Structure 1
Amino acid sequence: MARVRDIDPSELQPDLAAIHQRYLDTYGPFASQAAVLAHVPAALRHLPPLLMELREAKTLSKRYLEIAIVVVSKLNECHYCVAMHKPFLTVEGLSPQGIDGILAYRDHPELDEVDRLVAEYSEVAWTTPNRVSDALFARLREHFSEAQIVELTLRITLCGFFNRFSEALRIDD
């Protein structure tokens, strides 16, 4: 149970209630997260729509996005985020056991070269961003456009934010 109460959608202004509902209908099973974000209307007004717009743009493949999210969530030990994103990554072709072992990406049998690169970049960009080497960045450029690299980095850092937010407030659907 979250450390703060869930705000019921019926308590929200109509514009915020619509965002809340659209987030649940189009983004995923994040009801508790949205209900807690609702304590700060600006957060509900901007964060879910940003995530929805990024998903709709499809700049970055869902597989790479979910690999990055699960890697960062596992590094942060955010059980809520891993549980919420594990089904999405399963749809993208990884087995539940493969997802559980994703931090061993260097020799992971279910990951190809680009998947491993995404996992490596996710780990380095989250844990030691000042140590993203030029060589690692050059490898990213071989497979991704600048827009994709920017979005990947944005999603890695947003994921870390949501991990910490969810864990500190004990959000768990």
Structure 2
Amino acid sequence: MEKRIKIDEVEPAGYQAILGLEKFIESTPLTRIHKDLIKIRASQINGCAFCIAMHTKEARKAGESENRIYALSAWRDTPFFTKDERAILALTEEVTLIANHVKDETYNEAVEAVGETYLAQVILAIITINAWNRIGITTQLIPQ
């Protein structure tokens, strides 16, 4: 891979703006598990190797099981995820693949599962990791 720009060095104000959104997400009542699932699943869909490596390590450190991490790309076919987690994962997939739009059924299931305020925080978390994924992929960040 050829060397590409480092956004935080070339445009620090823009980078700090996205970092500010990340800091907001960290200050919300979103559970660590929900944040980790959102970050890993969106990163899998987007193919951001840097973010997949970072967020799976963070999830393991926070106590997430290897079994759930390995099964995350096939979450619908496993019994490992709760109703709330399933609603959040479905929404994560549809927001990440936004060209297909978010179905009313998916949105309504998420509202029912977690409530409006928590849902707003989930949506912001999904949007934030998608921004980070696009930075990681575009600038070819290398997993560590």
Same-fold call, TM cutoff 0.5: yes
Shift of residue 40 of structure 1? 0.4
Amino-acid identity (%): 21
Shift of 1:98: 2.6
Q: CA RMSD in A?
A: 2.2
Cα 1:135/1:92, change in 2 over 3 Å:
farther
Gap change, CA 1:53 and 1:131, over 3 Å in 2: closer
- SS of 1:170 mapped into structure 2: coil
Note the 1:105-144 alignment, pairs <5 A.
Answer: 105-128=75-98, 130-144=100-114
| Mapping for residues 90-169 of structure 1, pairs under 5 Å | 90-128=60-98, 130-169=100-139
8 Å CA contact 2:34, 2:85 repeated in 1: yes
Kindly report structure 1 stretches of 4+ aligned residues shifted beyond 4 Å: none
**Cα distance in 2, alignment partners of residues 135 and 164 from structure 1:** 27
From 2, 22, 42, the counterpart of 1:51: 22
Relative contact order (alpha carbons < 8 A, sep ≥ 6): 1 or 2 greater? 2
- Are the equivalent residues in 2 in contact too, given 1:126–1:156 (CA < 8 A)? yes
Q: Aligned to 1:38, what secondary structure does the other structure show?
A: helix
Report what 1:37 is aligned to: 8
Alpha-carbon spacing, 1:121–1:158, altered in 2? closer, same or farther (3 Å): same
Structure 2 unaligned runs (5+)? none
Partner-residue secondary structure (3-state), 2:10: coil
Q: CA deviation at 1:159?
A: 1.2
- Name the structure 1 match of 2:59: 89
TM-score by length of 1: 0.71
Deviation at 1:104, TM superposition (A): 0.7
Q: CA deviation at 1:91?
A: 4.1
Q: Which has the larger radius of gyration?
A: 1
Q: 1:37 corresponds to which letter in structure 2?
A: D
Number of residue pairs matched by the alignment: 143
Instruction: Assess if the C-alpha contact under 8 Å between 2:83 and 2:113 holds in 1.
Output: no
For 1:134 and 1:49, the matched residues in 2 are separated by: 30
How far residue 145 of structure 1 moved from its aligned partner, in angstroms, is 2.9
Is residue 68–residue 119 contact of structure 1 (8 Å, CA) maintained in 2?
Answer: yes
